[in-house]
Amino acid sequence: MHTPSRSGPSAGRGITLTLAAALLSGSLQAGAETAQAPRSELWLDLSRDSTATTTVGSDLRLALPSAHAILLGAARTTSPADQGDLDVRAWHLGLAGPSGRPLGYGLRYDHSGQSGVLESDRFSLALDLNRSQWSVSLLPEARSIRLYTDPGIAVKRRVDVGAFGLGASLWYYGPGNWMFGLEGHTYSYSKNPKALSSYRASRVFSGKTLTMSEGLLDHSETVDAGYAFENADLTLEGSRSVSAVDSTASNVVALKGNLYLFDPVRFGLELGAINSQPDSASYYATLSLGYAW
């Protein structure tokens, strides 16, 4: 079973590469799927970082009699970026196949962005091969990205960019209650993203658009190590992502925990540190409240 990480926003120069990538990918929602499937779950999340970037979100996993699940979620992120506050909205709709079967799948549509600045639509697919102690997933996606020129400095128009991503993940369960994961993604674009780092781009697009465009990634990698207790789980995660616009690398280390002691109520906490050269380190925290039935 493909096991998505529960991720919160990150911090940095008003908004970092890690957060910009989350804004574009629609991955700000923090309570999407957990190993507790196929129960229905509702998660409410609040994230805050050291630059006053704030995300509030909700996620619903609705289990169906067929053992499938409908996924619904929405989030709003505000960030005091250098060129004015960002106000980014995101929502998603998905379908998860029955869990625990040798072959699994999932479909998901994400919309994210800020109207008139930058918007993204993403269609993603997960194809899983599951065994008793390990699982492998193929994770293709296609995106339509719309960037808007700044009417204050140029004629208002829309620039369309297509993107394709291909990812893969490997999870191993054991020994005992340990679990280990590797995940990687690579991306290609219909237009060269490096043009957005040019002087000409700064004379056409607003600072908000250019800030959010840093989330156009070239590639990313994630490593996880987790342990499942009787009524809780704890995961240490490290990730690295590289911008396709200016090759800036962002490194994140996060500690994530979920508590199921008061089932059906559950709690989540994530603490993370981000370093995006040439930025200094910054920090974030995500609090989550869930209910399962």
Q: Is residue 280 part of a domain?
A: yes
Q: What is the pLDDT of residue 5?
A: 37
Q: What is the pLDDT of residue 158?
A: 94
Quote the tokens at residue 157: 């128009």
Q: Is residue 7 part of a domain?
A: no
Structural domain count, the chain = 1
Q: What is the pLDDT of residue 20?
A: 58
Q: Is residue 33 part of a domain?
A: yes
Across all residues in the chain, what is the average pLDDT?
87
Q: What is the pLDDT of residue 31?
A: 35
Between residues 19 and 34, which one has the greater pLDDT? 19
Q: What is the pLDDT of residue 124?
A: 97
Q: Tell me the pLDDT tens digit for each residue of 99-143.
A: 878 999 999 999 999 999 999 999 999 999 999 999 999 999 999
Is the predicted pLDDT of residue 35 greater than 50, yes or no?
no
Containing structural domain, residue 42: 17-292
Q: Is residue 288 part of a domain?
A: yes
pTM of the model: 0.87
Q: What is the pLDDT of residue 106?
A: 96
With bands split at pLDDT 50, 70 and 90, how would you rate the model's confidence at 87?
A: very high
Q: What is the mean pLDDT of residues 42-46?
A: 97
Q: What is the pLDDT of residue 36?
A: 42
Q: Is residue 2 part of a domain?
A: no
Q: Is residue 11 part of a domain?
A: no
Q: Tell me the pLDDT tens digit for each residue of 244-290.
A: 999 989 999 999 999 999 999 999 999 999 987 665 678 999 999 99
Three-state SS across 208-273? HHHHHHCCCEEEEEEEEEEEECCCEEEEEEEEEEEECCCCCEEEEEEEEEEECCCCCEEEEEEEEE
Lowest mean pLDDT among 90-99, 161-170, 207-216, 284-293: 207-216
Q: Is residue 3 part of a domain?
A: no
Report the alpha-carbon distance of residue 16 to residue 278 in Å, rounded: 11
Q: Is residue 39 part of a domain?
A: yes
CATH number of 75's domain: 2.40.160.40
Q: What is the mean pLDDT of residues 63-87?
A: 87
Is the predicted pLDDT of residue 17 greater than 90, yes or no?
no
